[in-house]
Amino acid sequence: MPADRLHDIEAFVRVAELESFTAAAEVLGVSVSSATKAIRRIETGLGVELFHRSTRHLHLTDAGARYYADGVKLLADFENAQLAVRDANSRPAGTVRLALPPAFGRRSLLPLVSQFFERYPEIKLDVRFKDQTANPIDGGFDLAIHSGRLADSRLVHRTLIRGPQKTVASPAYLERHGVPRTPAELCEHNCIVGRFGSTWRFRDGKGDELAVRVSGNLQTDSGDVLRQAALVGLGVSQATWWLFNADLQAGRLVAFLNEFEIEADPIYLIFPASRNIAARVRVVADFFLEVVRALPREELPNGQP
């Protein structure tokens, strides 16, 4: 890619982030005219408007929002390439601040911490369990793991895990109350309602979405409570597969309605969009990806590679 085109994309990204040509020009060390011309060159080349402009406001169009997400990734990839060369002969060191959903952190990260430190003894992890928010890296985190759809499309992310939404119960509960054969039969069962609410979604044989409203005597926003309640036989739980995976493998829980299940929201690695990704942060992210890819196929949903 020509250097001038890369500079134009950088100007566009800064204008989008700061919502101001003047502020972006100051950050970039160029004139306002230069920043304006850079945006015009991109818009002319694409044949679309990237910003809604008024005397007081500057906001991205839908096309601009898509181009911003791609532009941020392109700039990050370029910076990563430079950092990779620069850091090739140095050992990653320092502190990485990491935000995790509580249930995912306890069940997926903590068992791997010693393995990580054996490989990277000069890195310190500052791990915080944090409930899901619109921007998972708010609070100065270097890296976050986020379960669910991203409210802000401008966040730089990599998909860590995809898999199905599982409906489960303990063998003892199913022996007492029977196994639901269709989603509609869940209305006759005690369902443990999680943070996504009492409307559980499935797909029928034609691929059309089914929405079933369930109810029960326990509601929680904690994945740990959702899992534990199912384990003790309180009722039926539904969540993304990774929450129940070890229990399903061990036979402590049983999955059913598999032919109706939908894909759960992905689990993402989130990076701050406006920062260079340091080597110490990059190796933490790469470690997570490597560990997931190294799992035995029977521990991954749908044979995920």
CATH number of the domain that 44 lies in? 1.10.10.10
Residues 226 and 150 in one domain: no
Residues 144 and 225 in one domain: no
Task: Please report which confidence band the pLDDT of residue 38 belongs to, taking 50, 70 and 90 as the band edges.
Answer: very high
User: Would you say residue 59 lies in a domain?
Assistant: yes
CATH number of the domain that 244 lies in? 3.40.190.290
Residues 171 and 235 in one domain: yes
Mean pLDDT over all residues of the chain? 84
pLDDT at 163: 83
pLDDT tens profile 69-119: 888 888 877 876 776 666 655 678 888 988 888 887 887 777 888 889 999
User: Would you say residue 181 lies in a domain?
Assistant: yes
Which domain does 181 fall in, by range? 163-263
Tokens of 250: 């061990």
Task: Please report which confidence band the pLDDT of residue 301 belongs to, taking 50, 70 and 90 as the band edges.
Answer: very low
Report which of residues 171 and 266 the model is more confident about.
Answer: 171
Residues 137 and 282 in one domain: yes
User: Would you say residue 300 lies in a domain?
Assistant: no
Tokens of 224: 């740990």
215: phi then psi, degrees, rounded to nearest 5:
-150, 160
Output the pTM of the full model: 0.60
- Separation CA 266–CA 289 (nearest Å): 14
User: Would you say residue 303 lies in a domain?
Assistant: no
pLDDT tens profile 272-281: 765 567 788 8
User: Would you say residue 302 lies in a domain?
Assistant: no
Cβ-contact 186, 229 below 8 angstroms: no
Share of the chain above pLDDT 70, in %: 85
Tokens of 111: 């068992």
pLDDT at 240: 87
Nearest to 168 by CA among 227, 242, 104: 227
Residues 275 and 256 in one domain: no
pLDDT at 276: 61
Q: Taking 70 as the threshold, does the pLDDT of residue 302 lie above it?
A: no
Residues 197 and 136 in one domain: no
Among 86-95, 141-150, 226-235, the range with the most confident prediction by mean pLDDT is 226-235
Give the pLDDT mean for 190-212: 90
- Separation CA 191–CA 140 (nearest Å): 38
pLDDT at 102: 83
Nearest to 19 by CA among 50, 42, 63, 45: 50
User: Would you say residue 305 lies in a domain?
Assistant: no
Specify the pairing of strand 94-100 against strand 143-147: parallel
Report which of residues 212 and 78 the model is more confident about.
Answer: 212
Q: Taking 90 as the threshold, does the pLDDT of residue 291 lie above it?
A: no
Residue 29's alpha-carbon distances to 1, 16, 22, in angstroms, are 22, 16, 10
Give the pLDDT mean for 243-259: 93
Task: Please report which confidence band the pLDDT of residue 190 belongs to, taking 50, 70 and 90 as the band edges.
Answer: very high
Stated length of the chain: 305
- Separation CA 231–CA 168 (nearest Å): 9
DSSP string, 279-303: HHHHHHHHHHHHHHHHS-GGGSGGG
User: Would you say residue 301 lies in a domain?
Assistant: no
Total of domains in the chain: 3
- Separation CA 200–CA 189 (nearest Å): 13
Helix-then-strand count for the chain, H and E: 10, 12
Give the range among 3-12, 154-163, 292-301 with minimum mean pLDDT: 292-301
Helix then strand then coil, in percent of the chain rounded to 5, is 45, 20, 35
Residues 258 and 180 in one domain: yes
Task: Please report which confidence band the pLDDT of residue 261 belongs to, taking 50, 70 and 90 as the band edges.
Answer: very high
Cβ-contact 158, 144 below 8 angstroms: no
pLDDT at 136: 62
First CA to last CA distance, the chain: 31
